[in-house]
Amino acid sequence: MSDGDTAYEGLIKEHEARKAHVLAMGGKEKLSKRKAASLLDARERIERLFDPGSFTETGMFVTSHLPSMRDKSPADGKVCGFGRIDGRNAAIVSCDLTVLGASSSPNNVKKMGHIRRVATKNGMPVIFLNETSGARIPDTMGAQGIGALGQDPTQFLRDRQSPYVSACLGPSFGTGTWYTMLSDFVVMRKGACLAVSSPRVTSLAIGEDVDPEELGGWRLHTEKTGLVDYAVDTDEEALDLIKTFLSYLPSHAGQRPPRTEAPDNSRIDPEIILEIVPPQRQKVYDVRKLIKAVADPDTVLELKPKFARVATTALARMNGQVVGFVASNPMFKAGALDPDGCDKITSFLVLCDSFNIPIIILCDTPGFLIGIEGERRKAPGKIMNFQTALQMCTVPKFSIVTRKSYGQAYLNMGGTRNSDEMGAWFTADVGFMDPVIGINVVYGVTQKNDPEKFSKLKAELDRETSAYDLAAINSTQAVIDPRETRDWLLRMLEIHSRDLEGGLSQRRLASWPTTF
Amino acid sequence: MARFKIESEIAGNVWKIEAKEGDHVDDEDVIMILESMKMEIPVLASESGKIVEIHVAEGDNVAENQLLVTLEN
């Protein structure tokens, strides 16, 4: 053996030992506690998410900047790198709670910055697996501590060059929360807490006990704030949902979403639409069933399903092409759109416009929900945000009125030229407001106080509100038998291909805020 | 055991109550139907559980956010 071989042997040993130290994370004891609680660790999560053997770590030997903490901070609490999901590259930041609570530090912030820059420059999604106690204390205390942060003026710049996805898999405060808020899709494990600061910090600040579920639990975020799309029971379910979501998105904004093979059309029975949607306007139905009947079988992924249920937003496929469905849902509040519903739709329009996803609007709404509560919650502003967003969207937009479409909501839901092509079912009823209310407002006549006059006036107003009346002035380009909905949409998707622009949007919404 | 409240999302009138106290319901099962904005609007279970109490009767007027049902699971 030569001297060179011996020298290499020592270096190889050291390299292996250093790697083993990093891979041991926060130590056996902490890791076995997690296992006992059925929680995956930061590296197991990566393994579960990425195609086998595809993960390459970056910043593996990063440690705390404090010399005394170097040995106690493997990977500095954030495991970062690149891997493949279904053959496509993706970047990841996976928090390791067993190392200093995966707290954010000057060095691991540099790692995260590298991940974001590489992903943006080369066009791949960024996945944040959050389980972090927030900023590292005492490292970030004092003017020098806080001043050491903020070295990257693009740290929180979100212009949606590639998708961001987050999972909250434990406590998520500070940076973990901020990246979650910048994400296009968020899933949360039940029991996790997503908030600005931890319950302990919050409790000390306000001087009273704070319940983590109340502060940032899954019910709050899936039902009330809408900041989280899905709550799940296990890490595995969360990771699988991330994969599912990404399967609908392009790797970056310069691509169309990945297309799959068209389904076997014999599995689709258009007659079922007549069973789902009652022709009587006072009867409600669940628009989610209609979307499922129109889209390719088993392809509908609803976003924020428990939040603002008056509106449904869903990714789906039509003959293998990714589309985004926006619908009012008569099942909830009769489909009258409220401020949360407007926010939900606006954020979905931003997603579709940013990533070249055509939009299909299904409209059955008595209008915007009016009332004092809505006004207090800025309903007028929300309605215009939604309307402006729709008008700025340059992806193909198709709108179908199934039954009702009244007032400003008619325009917000793609009425006339607010979509590229409009269709109305022959059951459509379109006007400034429901004729029954209109008769009362204009003539002061109700069914109760003058049934005869009411019937006469209603017959008159009803005559001028049909799909054919709308079609006569070409404000709808088609009057459709409900059973023809899928075929009509498939043809329109082919025709409005945006081939001149390579199917790409102008992305005017791509730099819109991440929360409304 | 946790208890959950189901409140009215909309002002209206209780038209039909389709479940009774003690019944088990699944997520999104119809518990009652309200009449509002000329529509029949179902009130759905917010998750699976047992109906502990129904706080309204058929024919009652209800306000937005009024407590309708308490569930337990």
User: What ipTM does this complex have?
Assistant: 0.74
Q: Could you tell me the pLDDT band of residue A4, with boundaries at 50, 70 and 90? A: low
Answer whether B10 sits within 8 Å of A366, measured CB to CB. Answer: no
Residue B9 contacts A, CB cutoff 8 Å: yes
- The whole-chain average pLDDT of chain A stands at 93
Query: Cis omega before residue A279 (within 30°)?
Result: no
Tokens (6 digits) for B50: 């047992």
Residue whose entry in the numeric block shows the structure tokens 């030997």: A61
Q: Is the pLDDT score of A240 beyond 80?
A: yes
Smallest CA–CA separation between A284 and chain B, in Å? 6
Phi/psi at A420 (nearest 5 deg)? -75, -30
> What percent of chain A stands above pLDDT 90?
78
Smallest CA–CA separation between B67 and chain A, in Å? 16
DSSP assignments along B2-30, one per residue: -EEEEE-SS-EEEEEE---TT-EE-TT-E
Best residue of A289, A332, A434, A462 to probe chain B, by most B CBs closer than 10 Å: A332
Strands annotated E in A393-493: 397-406, 421-425, 429-431, 478-480
Rounded Cα–Cα distance for residues A195 and A228 (Å): 12
Q: How are beta strands B12-17 and B61-62 bridged, if at all?
A: antiparallel
Give the number of other Cβ atoms within 10 Å of residue A242's Cβ.
Answer: 24
Average pLDDT over residues A151-169: 93
DSSP assignments along A194-225, one per residue: E-SS-HHHHHHHHTS---HHHHH-HHIIIIII
Q: Is the pLDDT score of A442 beyond 90?
A: no
Q: Is the pLDDT score of A410 beyond 80?
A: yes
**What H or E segment, with its residue span, contains residue A170?**
strand A164-172
Residue B11 contacts A, CB cutoff 8 Å: yes
When CB atoms are compared, the residue of A284, A366, A373 closest to B64 is: A373
Q: Are A268 and A292 in contact (CB under 8 A)?
A: no
Q: Give residue A28's Cα distance to chain centre.
A: 36
Q: Are A355 and A430 in contact (CB under 8 A)?
A: no
Smallest CA–CA separation between A144 and chain B, in Å? 47
Distances (CA, A) of A155 to A79, A137, A151, A152, A178: 18, 20, 8, 5, 10
Q: Could you tell me the pLDDT band of residue A451, with boundaries at 50, 70 and 90? A: confident
Q: Are A330 and A315 in contact (CB under 8 A)?
A: no
Rounded Cα–Cα distance for residues A59 and A108 (Å): 8
Rounded Cα–Cα distance for residues B34 and B44 (Å): 11
Residue B66 contacts A, CB cutoff 8 Å: no
Query: For A368, which DSSP code?
Result: B
Fold (CATH) for B3-72: OB fold (Dihydrolipoamide Acetyltransferase, E2P) (2.40.50)
Residue B36 contacts A, CB cutoff 8 Å: yes
Q: Are A435 and A404 in contact (CB under 8 A)?
A: no
Residue whose entry in the numeric block shows the structure tokens 């297309």: A259
pLDDT of residue A3: 66
Candidate from A122-136, A331-345, A441-455 with smallest mean pLDDT: A441-455
Q: Are A296 and A262 in contact (CB under 8 A)?
A: yes
List CB contacts (< 8 A) between B46 and chain A.
223
pLDDT of residue A1: 55
Smallest CA-to-CA distance from A300 within A231, A337, A247 is with: A247
CB-neighbour burial class of residue A408 (10 A; exposed 0-12, middle 13-18, buried 19+): middle
Rounded Cα–Cα distance for residues A270 and A293 (Å): 7
Q: Could you tell me the pLDDT band of residue B2, with boundaries at 50, 70 and 90? A: confident
Rounded Cα–Cα distance for residues B73 and B71 (Å): 7
List CB contacts (< 8 A) between B3 and chain A.
none
pLDDT of residue A419: 97
Start-to-end CA distance of chain A, whole Å, equals 68
Candidate from A81-90, A120-129, A146-155, A158-167 with smallest mean pLDDT: A146-155
Tokens (6 digits) for A252: 């970056």
Which stretches of A57-105 are DSSP H helices?
A: none
List CB contacts (< 8 A) between B6 and chain A.
none
pLDDT of residue A208: 82
Residue whose entry in the numeric block shows the structure tokens 């939604």: A386
pLDDT of residue A111: 94
pLDDT of residue A2: 65
Q: Is the pLDDT score of A33 beyond 70?
A: yes
We find that the CATH architecture of domain A8-248 is Alpha-Beta Complex (3.90)
Return the CATH class of domain A270-428+466-501: alpha beta
pLDDT of residue A141: 81
Distances (CA, A) of A311 to A303, A327, A343, A388, A393: 10, 6, 10, 18, 19
Average pLDDT over residues A154-177: 94
Average pLDDT over residues A380-402: 98
DSSP assignments along A337-355, one per residue: B-HHHHHHHHHHHHHHHHT
Rounded Cα–Cα distance for residues A347 and A304 (Å): 10
Tokens (6 digits) for A46: 């990566």
List CB contacts (< 8 A) between B9 and chain A.
310, 332-333
List CB contacts (< 8 A) between B39 and chain A.
281-284, 330, 334, 366
Answer whether A334 sits within 8 Å of B64, measured CB to CB. Answer: no
Stronger pLDDT, A51 or B38, i.e. the higher one: A51
Domain parsing of chain A, residue ranges: 8-248, 270-428+466-501, 435-464
Average pLDDT over residues A204-213: 85
Rounded Cα–Cα distance for residues A303 and A297 (Å): 17
Q: Is the pLDDT score of A441 beyond 80?
A: no
List CB contacts (< 8 A) between A333 and chain B.
9-10, 41
> What percent of chain A stands above pLDDT 70?
99
pLDDT of residue A308: 97
When CB atoms are compared, the residue of B9, B39, B46 closest to A284 is: B39
pLDDT of residue A268: 86
Stronger pLDDT, A441 or A160, i.e. the higher one: A160
Tell me whether the CATH fold assigned to A8-248 matches the one assigned to A270-428+466-501. Answer: yes
Rounded Cα–Cα distance for residues A380 and A375 (Å): 7
Q: Could you tell me the pLDDT band of residue A148, with boundaries at 50, 70 and 90? A: confident
Smallest CA-to-CA distance from A249 within A194, A173, A184, A298 is with: A184
Q: Is the pLDDT score of A272 beyond 60?
A: yes
Q: Could you tell me the pLDDT band of residue A206, with boundaries at 50, 70 and 90? A: confident
